[in-house]
Amino acid sequence: MFSRILVEQDVLNHPRTKSILERFKTTPVKEINSISEVFQRVKKPYLQKRDDLQLYIGTKKGQLVKKAPNAYGVKGEEHFYFIHSYNCIYECEYCYLQGYFQSPDLVFFINHEEIAEQITDYYNKSNKENIWFHAGEFSDSLALSHITGELPFYFELFKNLPKAKLELRTKSANIKPLLDLEPQDNIIVTFSLSPAHRIKSTDLKTPSLKHRLIAIESLVKKGYRIGIHFDPVIFEDNFSDAYSELLNSLNKVLPEESLEYLSLGVVRFTKDVYHQVKKNYPNSELLGSEFQKTPEGLVRYPRPLRMAMLHRLESLCYESGINKDKVYLCMEDEHFSESNT
Ligand code: SF4
C-alpha cells in the first residue's frame, strides 16, 4: 500500500505508531525529525499516488480543532472540525484535496489526546444546545480507521460530552471498526452518496453504491444514527430520476427514525481545484458541464440551475418520506472541502 513510511522520531515508540507499523512489516521505515520539514517540501504530482504513495506518522502542532462554516451540516448549531489525517486513498475527480496540498502522500497524526483537549475546551466554552465536531476535513473518516485505530478513543471521549455530536463522514464501506464498538446517540456516521453510475464514473476507487448501502444497513441494525450527504450533485439530463432511484434504494436500508439528517449540495470548485481536475482528469464527464467562473474565482453552475437542482432534490426527499426538518441545503459558497466536493 505504501512505498515508504516516514515516522517522526518522537513517536517512533508510541503504541499507536507501533500498531500502525505492525500492519506494514515489509514496508521500509525512515526516521524523520518533523513532518513539516519533509511533507510538501517538493511538489509531488497528485496522480503519483497511484504508483508511489508514502505515509507519514507524527504529531500535529498548533490548532487541531477549528471552527467550521455552517454549511457543514445542521444549521443554527455550532460546528467544528478536527484534523487527525491528511489526504485520502480514493480519487474522486472533483476532490478538493488535489488542489490543496502539494503532495498526495498520507499523513496520520497520532496525538489524539491533544485533539481531545481542544475539543473539550470548545465544548466547555459553548452555550449551545448541540455542538458538532466533524472528523475528516482533510481525509475520509473511516476508510483507514482499521489501521489508524482511533475510534475507540473518540467513542470514550464523546461519552463524556453529552451535548456534543461527532460526525464520522465517509465514502467507504469500512465499518468493521464501528461494528466492534457500541453505538452512541451522539456519534453520527454520515455517508456521501451519489447515483450508482456516477460513483462508478467520478468517485474513482471508492466502494460502489451497493456496498455503501449494505454498510448503512449493517450500521442501522447495530443501532447507529446515520446522516446522508447528496453532495456533490452533478447535473445530467436524468439527474432527477437518478436521485429518485437512489432515494428508493436508501429507503430500503435506512428507516426515517435512524436518519439524523440529509444534506444537499451542488458540485462547486475553487478555480485552483478546477484547474487540477482539468489536468488530472482531462476526460472527466465533469468537464463537459456548463460551469461559470465567478469574479471571486469560483467555478460552479449558474445560480438558476443550482437552485432548480436543489429544490427538485428537496422535493424528492420529502416525497420519499423524509421529514422536512431533516433536510438541509448546502448553499454556502465558502465551503469547498470533502464535505461538499
Ligand atoms: S472527495 Fe473525499 S472520499 Fe473522495 S478522494 Fe476526496 S477526500 Fe477522498
User: According to DSSP H, which parts of 254-341 are helical?
Assistant: 271-280, 303-319
The neighbouring-strand residues paired with 45 are none
d(CA 36, CA 169) in angstroms, rounded, equals 26
Residues whose CB is less than 8 angstroms from the CB of residue 295 and which lie 6 or more positions away in sequence, other chains included:
none
CB-based contacts of 242-249 (< 8 A; 24+ apart in sequence): 242/195, 242/197, 242/198, 243/195, 243/313, 243/316, 244/316, 244/320, 245/195, 246/193, 246/194, 246/195, 246/196, 246/209, 247/316, 247/317, 247/320, 248/320, 249/209, 249/213
The neighbouring-strand residues paired with 192 are 229
Using CA positions, which residue lies closest to atom 1 of ligand 1? 95
C-beta of 95 in contact with ligand 1 (< 6 A): yes
Locate the ligand 1 atom nearest the alpha carbon of residue 90 and give its number.
5
Please calculate the CA angle 220-156-64 and round it to the nearest 5 degrees. 105
Backbone angles phi, psi at 105, to 5 degrees: -60, 150
Ligand 1 centroid, distance to 39 Cα (angstroms): 20
pLDDT at 74: 74
pLDDT at 296: 80
Report whether 163 contacts 204 (CB < 8 A).
no
Residues whose CB is less than 8 angstroms from the CB of residue 330 and which lie 6 or more positions away in sequence, other chains included:
71, 231, 263, 264, 265, 340
C-beta of 93 in contact with ligand 1 (< 6 A): no
Ligand 1 centroid, distance to 12 Cα (angstroms): 28
d(CA 329, CA 170) in angstroms, rounded, equals 19
C-beta of 97 in contact with ligand 1 (< 6 A): yes
What tens-digit pLDDT sequence spans the chain (341 residues)? 899 999 999 999 999 999 999 999 999 999 999 999 999 999 999 999 999 999 999 999 999 999 987 666 677 789 999 999 999 999 999 999 998 999 999 999 999 999 999 999 999 999 888 999 999 789 999 999 999 999 999 999 999 999 999 999 999 999 999 999 999 999 999 999 999 999 999 999 999 999 999 999 999 999 999 999 999 999 999 999 999 999 999 999 999 999 999 999 999 999 999 999 999 999 999 987 789 998 888 899 999 999 999 999 999 999 999 999 999 988 654 444 443 33
pLDDT at 101: 93
d(CA 298, CA 280) in angstroms, rounded, equals 19
Locate the ligand 1 atom nearest the alpha carbon of residue 87 and give its number.
7
Using CA positions, which residue lies closest to atom 2 of ligand 1? 338
Ligand 1 centroid, distance to 127 Cα (angstroms): 33
Report whether 117 contacts 21 (CB < 8 A).
no
C-beta of 322 in contact with ligand 1 (< 6 A): no
With the C-alpha atoms ordered 96, 99, 101, 104, is the resulting torsion angle positive or negative?
Answer: positive
Write down all domains in the chain, each with its CATH number in brackets. 4-330 (3.80.30.30)
Residue 256 half-sphere exposure toward CB, CA atoms < 13 A = 11
Ligand 1 centroid, distance to 209 Cα (angstroms): 15
pLDDT at 69: 74
d(CA 263, CA 227) in angstroms, rounded, equals 8
Mutate which of 97, 203, 277, 340 for ligand 1 pocket (most atoms within 8 A of beta carbon): 97
User: According to DSSP H, which parts of 169-208 are helical?
Assistant: 176-179, 196-202
C-beta of 220 in contact with ligand 1 (< 6 A): no
d(CA 273, CA 3) in angstroms, rounded, equals 26
